[in-house]
Amino acid sequence: MTQAPDHAPKMARASLAHRVAPWLPLALVPVLAVLGLAAIPSLSSWLTLTISGLAMGMMIFIMASGLTLVFGLMDVINFGHGAFVSVGAFVGVTVLLMLGPMTGAPSLALNLAALLVAVIGAMLATGLMGWAFERAIVRPVYGHHLKQILVTMGGLIVAEQLIIVLWGPEEIYIARPEALKGAITFAGAALEKYRLVAVAVGLAVFLAMRLVLRRTRIGLIVRAGVQNGEMVQALGYRLRLVFVGVFMAGSALAGLGGVMWGLYQEVITAQMGNQAMILIFIVVIIGGLGSVEGCFIGALLVGLLQNYVAFLEPKAALISNIGLMVAILMWRPMGMIPVVKAK
């Protein structure tokens, strides 16, 4: 063979547009907040709505984050994800009711401890439920999207009926823990304490997920598996085990989201997970399948937009999120931060 010269690459500086493009979705949240500030006449109203929107967005993110990984890593369309939200809410609220003296005490520490116990209980229950759901319902239909939709939808219906059998058909009204009731006043705006807690919990979950996905080997395997599962297996990793772990973690996060969402709305029903699925699917789709960061940004956009529009034009609130999805998909058809290739 003819000896060729060595390949000597040089670092070329990418254009500004190329460097900025990946960060554009991140800018949408502050842009939307600024637009909201321009449209809402009162600063205090804007602040209240913004915190409310961020809290709502964080809770949607918690519920949706597991689903986006399941979508991306396992190529599974799980319409039953809402079942984990409902079951998590019922288990968590049951635990909170059992811890009545702690939730009724005017002590933030005791209230948060009770909330933590309820969240752990809900996550354990939904994590185990996720394991059973993956084995019994999802595993037989890997690779068959239509069957996945049918059987996971069936799983959701069964779970809802089991909730009705165990807890009864009536909706359950719940009071938030004593110290989390009411609001604090900041810059003339009333900020609900519980919403501030929800923002903190959502942020903590997002940072923890990023830490695991970016700094650990298991996170590396998950990120690689979302892109090319076949190659991850060819490197020697048992992706099926990772699938199960991710499914359980995603279910547990949905359970956590269920507890938070239930306390946010102060009422829980067997259908609450099913109802939340519309928002969950919207953020998973606009975020980009398999992208935790995209899901996070999408959830914040949905939360903020819904709150701003509900204040400015209540009738338009119902369609605002669909409009957001249409606009984002026209801009980026694979979602804001696409990870999974079209299949």
Partner 1 sequence: MSEPMLRLEGVFTNIAQYHILRGVDLEVPRGRVSMLLGRNGVGKTTTLRTVIGHWRAHGGRITLDGQDITAMPTPAIARAGVGFVPEDMGIFADLTVEENMVLAAVSGPIDSARLDWVFSAFPPLKTFWKSAAGNLSGGQKQMLSIARAMIEKRRLYLIDEPTKGLAPAIVATMARALRELKADGASILLVEQNFAVAKALGDTASVMDDGRVVWSGAMAELGRDADLQERLMGLSMEAR
Residue list 147-186, contact with partner 1 (CB under 8 A): none
Residue list 320-339, contact with partner 1 (CB under 8 A): 339
Q: Is 15 helix (H, G, I), strand (E, B) or coil?
A: coil
CB atoms < 10 A from the CB of 222, how many? 24
Residue list 205-244, contact with partner 1 (CB under 8 A): 217, 220-221, 223-224, 227-228, 230-239
CB of 243 to partner 1, least distance (A): 13
- For residue 113 the two structure tokens come to 């401890």
Beta carbon nearer to partner 1, 236 or 314: 236
Residue list 237-276, contact with partner 1 (CB under 8 A): 237-239
CB of 301 to partner 1, least distance (A): 22
Beta carbon nearer to partner 1, 217 or 343: 217
Torsion angle in degrees (nearest 10) through CA of 262, 301, 306, 178: 30
Buried b / exposed e across 229-241, counting CB within 10 Å, b at 16+?
A: beebeeeebebee
Between CA 121 and CA 113 the distance in angstroms is 12
Q: Do residues 122 and 254 lie in contact, with contact meaning Cβ atoms separated by under 8 Å?
A: no
Beta carbon nearer to partner 1, 245 or 255: 245
CB of 333 to partner 1, least distance (A): 18
Among 224, 202, 228, residue whose Cα is nearest residue 299 = 202
Between CA 20 and CA 292 the distance in angstroms is 20
Which residues are CB-neighbours of 108 under 8 A, at least 6 positions away? 179, 180
CB of 4 to partner 1, least distance (A): 4
CB of 153 to partner 1, least distance (A): 27
Judged by CB under 8 A, the number of residues near partner 1 is 28
Beta carbon nearer to partner 1, 7 or 315: 7
Beta carbon nearer to partner 1, 205 or 339: 339
Beta carbon nearer to partner 1, 68 or 86: 68
- Alpha carbon 181 to its chain centroid, in Å, reads 24
User: CA geometry: angle at 124 spanning 121 and 129, to 5°?
Assistant: 125
Residue list 3-32, contact with partner 1 (CB under 8 A): 3-9, 11
CB of 3 to partner 1, least distance (A): 7
Binding site for partner 1 (CB under 8 A): 1-9, 11, 217, 220-221, 223-224, 227-228, 230-239, 339
